[in-house]
Amino acid sequence: MTLATYATWGICVAATAAVIARPFRWPEAIWAVAGAILLPLLGLMPVAAALHAIGKGTDVYLFLIGMMLLSETARAEGLFDWVAATAAIHARGSTARLFALVYVTGIVTTTFLSNDATAVVLTPAVYAAARKAKADPLPLLFACALIANAASFVLPISNPANLVLYGGKMPPLGQWFASFALPSVAAIVVTFLVLRWIERKRLAGACVSDVDRTPLTTGGKAAFVGIVATAIVLLVVSARDAELGLPTAIAGTVTTLAVSALSRSSPIALARQISWSVLPLVAGLFVLVEALDLTGMIGQVAQAIRVASANPAQASAVAGTILAFGSNLMNNLPAGLVASTAVAQAQPPRLVVDGLLIGVDLGPNLSITGSLATILWLQAIRREGQDVGFWRFLKVGAIAMPLALIAALGARIALG
C-alpha cells in the first residue's frame, strides 16, 4: 500500500462520515463535494477521472430532477393537501388506521415510482395528513422512510440502485418476480409489524376525521395525471431495459410546464423551491467511489466475492449482510456502485447478486443517511419544520432493518 492509497481512503472515509454526521449541521452536499474536490486537488486522483465519475451519474441526476419537479408541482397545486384530507377521512378517527393507509400508499408509490418518489412526493402529503388529522406525525413519517427501502425491490424501477447494481442489464420481469416476490413480501410485512410495535403508544390515540377537503383544482388534477403517466412511462422503459433518467426528467418537465400553463403560474418560481443540493451530493459520492476503484480496493472486493461464491447460498447471505451494514457507512448509492463494479469483475452466481441487491436496498433502513431516499426524506421533513436525528432513527432501524433483512435474505435463499 502506498501513502497515496491511504490518503485516498482517509479522505473518502472522512467525507462519507461527515455526510452522515453533518458537522455544524451543514448540508450533506458540502461534505461530499469537499471530499470530491480535495482528491484531485491533492493529486490523489486525475481531474479527468473525477469528471468521468461525475458523468457516470447523469442518469441518476435526470431521474432526481424529474421526481423533484413532480413533487414541487403537486405541492404547489394542493394535491398533497387533497391526498392528506382523503387519508384523514378514510382513517375514520383511528391513528392506527391512518398509519396503515400511509404504509400501503408507500408500498404503491415505491413500487411504481421508486423509493426516491416516496421520499420526495409522498412524505409532504403524509405530513399534511398528520396535521389535518391532528395526529403525531413521526410514526407516519417513519412509515414513509422505512417503506421507501423495504419495498424497493418489488420491481426493477422501485429503486435506482437496482439499475446500478445490475449495470443496466436487468433480468426479465418474470425472472425478477421469481427471485424477489417472496423476499419483498417478507421485508414489507416484517418492517410493518416492527414499526407498528415500536410506535404502538404513539398510534394508540384517536385522530380527527372530520376535515375539510378542498376539491382539486385543474392544476392539481393535471399534476396527478402527470404522476400517474410518469409511473406508466417508467414501467414501459424499465421493461425495455432502457435508462430511466431522461424519461423521468422529460415527464417531470412536461408536467411542470403544463400545470404552470393551466394555473398561469411561473415554472421558474416553482423550480426555486426545489432542494437542488441533492445533485452535487450525488456527484460527490460518484467521485469518491471512483477514487476507491483507482486504488484497487474494488478489485479486492471482487476477488473476495469470487472465492466466496463457491458456496452461493452462504455467499448470498454473507455478502448481502455486509453490504446492508456497509451501506450505512458510505450510503447505499456509492455502496451499490462498488458492488456493481465488483460484480462485473467477479461474475458470481445470480443468487449472490440477488443477495447483494437485497442488502443494498434494505440495509439503509438502519440509519438516516443509509440511502439517497432517506436523505431526500430528511430534506422533505425539514421543510415542514420536523427533524429526526441520527440516534432517533437508529433506535427504530436497529430493530426493523436486521429482522427484515434476515427475512428477505432467508426467503431468497430458500427459493434457490
Percent of the chain at pLDDT exceeding 90: 36
- Neighbour tally for 211: CB within 10 Å: 19
Q: Quick one: pLDDT at residue 212?
A: 73
The H or E element that residue 152 is part of is: none
Q: Quick one: pLDDT at residue 170?
A: 64
CA distances (Å), origin 198, targets 144, 192, 377, 394: 15, 10, 20, 12
pLDDT bin (cut points 50, 70, 90) of residue 409 is very high
Domain of 146 in residue numbering reads as: 3-415
Q: Quick one: pLDDT at residue 34?
A: 94
Q: How far is CA 37 from the centre of its chain?
A: 25
Residues 6+ apart with CB under 8 A from 128: 80, 81, 83, 84
Q: Quick one: pLDDT at residue 190?
A: 97
**CA-to-CA distance for 369 and 328, rounded, in angstroms?**
7
Q: Quick one: pLDDT at residue 412?
A: 96
Q: Quick one: pLDDT at residue 167?
A: 60
Q: How many CA atoms lie within 13 A of 207 on its CB side?
A: 29
Beta bridge partners of 94: 206
Q: What is the rounded average pLDDT of the residues 296-325?
A: 91
Query: What is the dihedral angle through the alpha carbons of 109, 370, 242, 347, rounded to the nearest 10 degrees?
Result: -130
Q: What is the rounded average pLDDT of the residues 41-50?
A: 93
**For 27-36, 70-79, 134-143, which range has the lowest pLDDT when averaged over its residues?**
70-79
Residues 6+ apart with CB under 8 A from 285: 16, 19, 32, 331, 333, 334
Q: What is the rounded average pLDDT of the residues 381-403?
A: 89
- What cell does 125 get? 402529503
Q: Quick one: pLDDT at residue 238?
A: 72
Q: Which residues in 138-265 belong to E strands, given as ranges? A: none
Q: Quick one: pLDDT at residue 169?
A: 60
Using the CB atoms, write b or e for 362-377: b if 16+ within 10 Å. bbbbbbbbbbbbbbbb
Q: What is the rounded average pLDDT of the residues 87-103?
A: 88
For 269-285, what is each residue's pLDDT tens digit? 888 888 788 899 889 98
Residue 66, pLDDT > 70, answer: yes
In the chain, the number of structural domains is 1
* Ramachandran quadrant class, 26 (left: phi over 0; alpha: psi -120 to 50; beta: rest): beta
Q: What is the rounded average pLDDT of the residues 101-121?
A: 84
Residue 11, pLDDT > 60, answer: yes
Beta bridge partners of 152: none
Reported residue count of the chain is 416
Residue 176, pLDDT > 90, answer: no
**Closest among 2, 193, 24, 189 to 96, alpha carbons compared:** 193
More confident residue, 198 or 300: 198
**CA-to-CA distance for 196 and 99, rounded, in angstroms?**
8
pLDDT bin (cut points 50, 70, 90) of residue 41 is very high
- What cell does 302 get? 471482487
Q: What is the rounded average pLDDT of the residues 355-361?
A: 95
Number of H helices, E strands in the chain: 21, 0
**Closest among 387, 230, 342 to 334, alpha carbons compared:** 342
Beta bridge partners of 206: 94
Q: Quick one: pLDDT at residue 26?
A: 82
For 315-345, what is each residue's pLDDT tens digit? 999 999 999 998 887 778 778 878 888 888 8
CB of 324 closer than 8 Å to CB of 405: yes
Residue 164, pLDDT > 80, answer: no
- What cell does 350 get? 445470480
Q: Quick one: pLDDT at residue 130?
A: 86
The answer to whether the pTM exceeds 0.85 is: no
Residue type, 123: T
pLDDT bin (cut points 50, 70, 90) of residue 214 is confident
Residue 403, pLDDT > 60, answer: yes
Q: What is the rounded average pLDDT of the residues 10-26?
A: 81
Per-chain mean pLDDT for the chain: 87
**CA-to-CA distance for 55 and 203, rounded, in angstroms?**
45
Q: Quick one: pLDDT at residue 168?
A: 53
Residues 6+ apart with CB under 8 A from 388: 138, 141, 142, 368, 378, 381
CA distances (Å), origin 360, targets 124, 334, 367, 411: 25, 10, 13, 16
Residue 195, pLDDT > 90, answer: yes
Angle between helices 245-263 and 218-239 (to 10 degrees): 170
CB of 306 closer than 8 Å to CB of 344: no
CA terminus-to-terminus distance, the chain = 39
